[in-house]
Amino acid sequence: MKINFINFKNFCLKNKINKIFSCAVSSLNFEGFSVNLKICSTQEIKYLNNKFRNLDKETDVLSFPNLNFENKKISSKDLSAELDLETGLVSLGDIIICKEIAKKQAREYGHSYKRELCFLALHGLLHLIGYDHENEKEEQEMMEKAEQILKKYNVIK
């Protein structure tokens, strides 16, 4: 998996997110994905949330999937038409995290900013690969998957 980090400065955090993302997509049994992961301001996330979701408010993370994963399963042959011939990768989409909201939530939840960024990045990736939280059952499944992956890579506090 290739992650295009935009506005990320912390090298150790980039390595941790790379490992987390690799673990999350391993269940797809397909190599060759890319994701754009961007840190932005509250003004930018509010603008994007309003433009694409008609919600005129700030949010912590937005995901913009390029593919439609049904039941969180897909095979490489299904993606051949989506392959970028220049890079040899299939783009899952874009994840945008609001830095200010991530810092605020880290304080509110009593854990580190690093942990919150990892959680939000993973949350965004899970959306890109077909997870959602439209109902209580889906939310529980998504949260359990996120916590399982974060624990595996010791991103607890």
Would 44 be classed as within a structural domain?
yes
Q: Is residue 157 part of a domain?
A: no
Confirm whether 145 is domain-assigned.
Answer: yes
pLDDT (tens digit per residue) in 24-48: 877 555 567 889 999 999 999 999 9
pLDDT of residue 66: 87
Which helix (H) or strand (E) segment holds residue 134: the answer is none
50 assigned to some structural domain:
yes
Closest by CA position to 101, among listed 56, 50, 61, 44: 61
Hey, what are 36's tokens? 């754009």
Residue 30 domain-assigned (yes or no):
yes
Entry pTM: 0.87
- The domain total for the chain is 1
Which residues, in sequence order, are bridge partners of residue 95? Answer: 37, 63
In terms of residues, how long is the chain? Answer: 157
CATH code at position 83? 3.40.390.30
Range of the domain at 89: 2-152
Is residue 59 domain-resident? yes
